[in-house]
Amino acid sequence: MDIQDFLIQGEGREEDKRQAWDLFQQAYEQQMKRELEEAVNLYKKSLATHPTAEAYTFLGWTYSWMGRIDEAIEECHKAIEQDPDFGNPYNDIGAYLIEKGEFEEAIPWFQKAIHAKRYESPAYPHLNLGRVYERKGNWTEAIDSYKKALALDPNYGLARKALGRLVSSLN
């Protein structure tokens, strides 16, 4: 993601969008340093300046790191309202539902992520869908999902490991 993503989203002044971008970048830096409360504050300032699906999604991600899963899901819903074509929040909702043990409920969210028009990491929902299928004992569907993740990103180590582990356990 870059500043162009912010500049093309929604109505508003370019100056506000650039300020929102700067705040978003600062928030991300704080999040990576595990300064989570500061990251939350900065993401909220970015959203108040110019709301974007990315900022809502990353705010949700920060909440998830804080163990505030329901709030993370709420922010993802706001991201989807902001931009229904953005795939990340669909995948994230599914991942948060897995954390809550709600596997069946996670499936449609991963399917929505897979079909999203705008998604920088389309292999992720395939891996996550595979995780759900594996948990449910649907081995064939899990293997297919892991293979799809690898087809999209041949260097995706988690998908490669998951596929290898599952196939070897079935032999």
End-to-end CA distance of the chain: 41
The continuous run of DSSP H or E covering 22 comes out as helix 14-32
Checking if the pLDDT of 9 tops 80, the result is no
* pLDDT at residue 1, rounded to an integer: 67
Question: Does residue 75 register a pLDDT over 80?
Answer: yes
Tell me the pTM: 0.92
User: DSSP secondary-structure letter at 9?
Assistant: S
3-class DSSP assignment, residue 87 = coil
Arithmetic mean of pLDDT, 135-139 = 95
- Convert the pLDDT of each residue in 11-58 to its tens digit: 888 899 999 999 999 999 999 999 999 999 999 999 999 999 999 999
Q: Which residues are CB-contacts of 21 (< 8 A; sequence separation ≥ 6)?
A: 3, 6, 7, 46
Note the pLDDT of residue 11. 82
Sole residue written with tokens 């300046």: 49
Q: From residue 43, how far is each of 48, 67, 84, 111 by CA, in Å?
A: 9, 17, 20, 27
CA angle 126, 129, 134 (to 5 degrees): 125
